[in-house]
Structures are given as structure tokens and as C-alpha cells.
């Protein structure tokens, strides 16, 4: 089964919590804190692997999670780092942040990687909170939170040449004639239901050719199959427009040629501007010579390079491949085009309001405090330890939240809530 698009949810591992511990050994009085740090959470990493050719695995599993980091331990032992989750995808896979629609990374080459969800940082153990005043800190830092992200995967095959044309014009036959590919070939429309790739060997040179399902008029409005797979020739450096000039189906050759190019422009003007050779196929079975001559004159007038061929009869293929190889060699020297809008994941994951404390008031008069850093410190607080509580309250005061509540009219015995914890205010 060929799957070239999938949407999944990935989640990195949470950082392990720091440990609260004190040395307890014979003959070592006042041993002091020795709580170790928590381990970092595992990250979710995508890697391009040439042994994969489809996104089928991601169609049947939509959620992926990396391992959490272990909590720190006594005797200053670090918690174990969470194992990274590496997801293998075919080269040519584009990673898109679903929420913003921006591209995260275009994985083109084998072995190329991208971290899409970084693991949470491990929390510091209580050994880090000892100072000249606080000799026995009875609290530690909570581990960093996991990052969850929805990612859309789009596979765009990497090929040098794309075959273009109506159904049943001989694109699959041409691909099989010049490469080792074995696409399905039959005398009816839409024989090709999925894109096919093949490697052309032209003397000492090679290039990759892609055949996609035939395009029909109205493809840009969703008709037929071709539009769905046109992304697979977006990376191509040039196109070969295959036309059935035998007139076996009684179609107008010029109209068909223009219809395909019109649909291409509607899909992507940049793709339509690529160099285009015309392969006039099935010349060994021409039924309407006048229509053929008119079509050839039309192409000559518009300065298209035309190659009369018979893919089935192996006629004219050497000339077509020779010119194709020349163009591919020239075009490979040009810089690759890239008009993606990329997202900066680090900036996206960093909340500019992270250290800010937001103060709101519920309908029942309760003052509600919220904020990223505040909630992390709250999770680290030991409510049975006065030093730990003072650390929390001092942070609230330093961030100006206490003054905000005073300005909002807080009075003695009013309720203040942080997450699920409520306490009464006294001046």
C-alpha cells in the first residue's frame, strides 16, 4: 500500500524531578543535602532512511511518545535520561507543523534528522539549593514539561524527471522501457494508481524518472487522481509531456496538450515553468495523419522540443534520453528552489510570558494565579517545609503578583488559588 500523507501526534518525555535527600552515614554529622538531578526526557526525532518508501506505518498509529526521564536519587545520583524516539521516514518527506501550517523540515537526504519535540530538562536536586543561609533545603526542582505537537507528513518523491500526460498515453510503458521499473501496464484509463520511480542509465550517467497517475481536465477541482499525486513531481528539474499521437481514442491532440498544461499552472505556476520536452508517443500506429501533422506544426510554432517515439516499439528513445540527460546535467548545477515558510521550533516552544504571573479573579472572589514558571516552582514546593514555601511566595512577590492583588483589592482572609492549591491571604 502506498501512503504519501499522514497526520500524527508526537510527545517528548518529561524531565525527571530532582531528589530531596540528606546524607545519613555513621560518624558524618550534619551530612547536608545530597539529592541528585533528574534525567532529561527523551526527544522525538525524525530520520530520513532510504530503506523506507511509504508512510504506511504512520497511517495505523497516530500517537508517539518518547520516554520520560527518571527522577534524581540520593547520594547525588542523576536520574536516567529518557530514551529518544527515532521515527524513520522516506527521503523526500516534508514535516509540517499542523497548527501553524509552516514547514518544520524537508528531509531530503538519507540520514538527515530533525528534532520535532525536545525532551523536558531534568529538575535540579536539593543539593543545588544549599547556600550560606539555607543549609538544609527540603525541596528540589520539578522536571521540565513534555512538548506535544501535531505533525503532518507529506512524501514528495525525489526525481530528476517527471512524466506528465492524460491517462493511457503510455507513461508507464515509457518508464518500463527506459528503466528497470515494472509499473502496471494495461489498455485502459488509470492503470497507474500510485506514483512509480525508475532509474535511467544513459551511458555513464544516471537520472531518476517519476511516473504519476494521469491528469484529466478539472484535476485542479479534485477530479481524477493526478492532482493528488502532483506533489511527487514538484521536486523534478524538468518534465516530459507524453502525448498519444495515434488518435486511437479520437481526441483532439492540441486541446489535450493545452488542458494538461492549464491544470499544471493552476496547481503550481513554478512547476509549470520547468523545462518541458514533448514525447509524441505511439508514432508506429498513427490513424489520423492530418491531426498528427497539425499537432507537430503547433508545437514547432511554440518552440517546444518534440521527440517522436514509440515506447512499446523502442523507437526514438535514445534521442529522447540523450536530450533529457543533457538538460538534467545542466539543471543540476542550478541552486535548488525552496519557497517553504519554516517555523522556528525553539521560538515556538518558548513562551515569552513564561516567567510572567497572570492574576485573575473568579466570580466567587477567589484570586487565581497562573504562569509557566510559577507552576513549575509550585510543583517543586514541599508544603511541609517553611523554606520551600518561602521560596514560592518570594517568587510571587518578585514577579509583582502580590502588588497586583493588592491593587485589585485583596483583603485578609481572601482566597488565593494556584492550580489545585488554595490558601488564605493575610497581610
Q: Does domain 161-331 have CATH number 3.40.50.300?
A: yes
pLDDT at 315: 93
Length of the chain: 427
pLDDT over threshold 60, residue 238 = yes
Phi-psi region of 368 (alpha: psi -120 to 50; beta: other; left: phi over 0): beta
Which ranges in the chain are annotated with CATH 3.40.50.300?
161-331
Angstrom distance (rounded) from CA 299 to CA 305: 8
Burial class (CB in 10 A: 0-12, 13-18, 19+), 334: exposed
pLDDT over threshold 60, residue 209 = yes
Grid cell 519557497 is found at: 339
Phi, psi of 57 (to 5 degrees): -60, -35
- pLDDT bucket at 169, cuts 50 / 70 / 90: confident
Mean pLDDT, all residues of the chain? 83
Distances (CA, A) of 227 to 55, 102, 157, 199, 386: 19, 21, 15, 24, 66
State pLDDT tens for residues 318-339: 999 999 999 999 998 888 777 6
CB 317 within 8 Å of CB 178: yes
| pTM score | 0.70
Sheet of 421-424: strands edge to edge?
A: 358-361, 367-370, 415-418, 421-424
Instruction: Decide which of 3.30.300.350, 2.60.210.10, 3.40.50.1100, 3.30.70.1290 is the CATH code for 352-424.
Output: 3.30.300.350
pLDDT above 70 covers what percent of the chain? Answer: 88
CB 146 within 8 Å of CB 119: yes
CB 356 within 8 Å of CB 339: no
Write down the CATH number for the domain with range 1-155. 2.70.210.12
All 3 cell numbers of residue 378?
509550585
Angstrom distance (rounded) from CA 305 to CA 314: 19
Q: What is the dihedral of CA 183, 188, 194, 197, to 10 degrees?
A: 30
Question: What does the pLDDT average to over 390-410?
Answer: 84
State pLDDT tens for residues 286-321: 889 999 999 999 999 999 999 999 988 999 999 999
All 3 cell numbers of residue 260?
494538461
CA 235 to chain centre: 17
pLDDT at 191: 42
pLDDT over threshold 60, residue 216 = no
Which ranges in the chain are annotated with CATH 2.70.210.12?
1-155
pLDDT at 115: 95
Question: What does the pLDDT average to over 394-408?
Answer: 85
pLDDT over threshold 80, residue 221 = no
Which ranges in the chain are annotated with CATH 3.30.300.350?
352-424
pLDDT at 182: 58
pLDDT at 254: 93
All 3 cell numbers of residue 355?
516567567
Sheet of 5-11: strands edge to edge?
A: 63-65, 5-11, 148-155, 93-97, 103-107
All 3 cell numbers of residue 284?
508506429
Distances (CA, A) of 318 to 202, 238, 414: 9, 18, 88
pLDDT above 90 covers what percent of the chain? Answer: 33
Look at 384 and 331; give whichever has higher pLDDT: 331
State pLDDT tens for residues 246-261: 888 778 899 989 988 8
Angstrom distance (rounded) from CA 98 to CA 45: 17
CB 142 within 8 Å of CB 392: no
With a CB cutoff of 8 Å and minimum separation 6, the contacts of 303 are none
pLDDT at 170: 85
Distances (CA, A) of 199 to 7, 151, 158, 275: 30, 31, 11, 20
Beta partners for 361? 367
Amino acid at each position: 500500500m502506498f501512503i504519501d500523507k499522514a497526520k500524527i501526534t508526537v510527545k517528548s518525555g518529561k524531565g525527571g524531578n530532582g531528589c530531596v535527600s540528606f546524607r545519613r552515614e555513621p560518624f558524618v554529622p550534619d551530612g547536608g543535602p545530597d539529592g541528585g538531578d533528574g534525567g532529561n526526557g527523551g526527544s522525538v526525532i525524525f530520520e530520513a532512511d532510504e530503506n523506507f518508501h511509504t508512510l504506511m506505518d504512520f497511517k495505523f498509529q497516530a500517537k508517539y511518545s518518547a520516554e520520560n526521564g527518571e527522577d534524581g536519587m540520593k547520594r547525588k545520583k542523576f536520574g536516567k535520561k529518557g530514551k529518544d524516539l527515532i521515527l524513520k521516514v522516506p527521503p523526500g518527506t516534508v514535516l509540517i507543523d499542523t497548527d501553524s501550517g509552516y514547514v518544520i523540515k524537508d528531509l531530503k537526504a538519507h540520514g538527515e534528522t530533525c528534532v520535532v519535540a525536545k525532551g523536558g530538562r531534568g529538575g535540579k536536586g536539593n543539593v543545588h539549593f544549599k547556600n550560606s543561609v539555607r543549609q538544609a533545603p527540603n525541596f528540589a526542582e520539578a522536571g521540565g514539561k513534555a512538548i506535544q505537537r501535531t505533525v503532518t507528513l507529506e512524501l514528495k518523491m525525489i526525481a530528476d524527471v517527471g512524466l506528465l500526460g492524460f491517462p493511457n498515453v503510455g507513461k508507464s510503458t515509457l518508464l518500463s522501457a527506459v528503466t528497470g521499473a515494472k509499473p502496471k501496464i494495461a489498455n485502459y484509463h488509470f492503470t497507474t494508481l500510485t506514483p512509480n520511480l525508475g532509474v535511467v542509465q544513459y551511458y555513464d550517467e544516471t537520472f531518476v524518472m517519476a511516473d504519476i497517475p494521469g491528469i484529466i481536465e478539472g484535476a485542479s477541482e479534485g477530479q481524477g487522481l493526478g492532482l493528488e499525486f502532483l506533489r511527487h513531481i514538484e521536486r523534478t528539474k524538468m518534465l516530459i509531456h507524453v502525448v498519444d499521437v495515434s488518435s486511437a481514442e479520437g481526441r483532439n491532440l492540441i486541446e489535450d496538450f493545452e488542458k494538461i498544461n492549464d491544470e499544471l499552472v493552476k496547481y503550481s505556476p513554478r512547476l509549470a515553468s520547468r523545462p518541458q520536452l514533448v514525447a509524441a508517443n505511439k508514432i508506429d500506429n498513427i490513424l489520423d495523419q492530418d491531426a498528427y501533422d497539425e499537432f507537430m506544426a503547433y508545437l514547432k510554432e511554440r518552440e517546444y522540443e518534440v521527440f517522436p517515439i514509440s515506447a512499446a516499439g523502442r523507437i526514438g528513445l535514445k534521442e529522447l534520453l540523450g536530450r533529457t540527460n543533457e538538460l538534467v546535467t545542466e539543471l543540476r548545477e542550478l541552486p535548488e528552489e525552496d519557497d517553504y515558510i519554516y517555523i522556528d521550533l525553539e521560538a515556538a516552544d518558548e513562551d515569552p510570558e513564561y516567567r510572567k504571573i497572570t492574576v485573575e479573579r473568579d466570580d466567587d472572589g477567589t484570586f487565581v494565579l497562573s504562569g509557566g514558571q510559577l507552576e513549575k516552582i509550585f510543583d517543586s514546593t514541599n508544603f511541609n517545609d517553611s523554606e520551600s514555601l518561602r521560596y514560592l511566595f518570594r517568587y510571587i512577590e518578585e514577579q509583582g503578583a502580590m502588588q497586583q492583588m493588592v491593587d485589585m483589592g485583596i483583603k485578609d482572609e481572601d482566597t488565593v488559588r494556584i492550580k489545585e492549591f488554595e490558601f488564605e491571604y493575610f497581610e
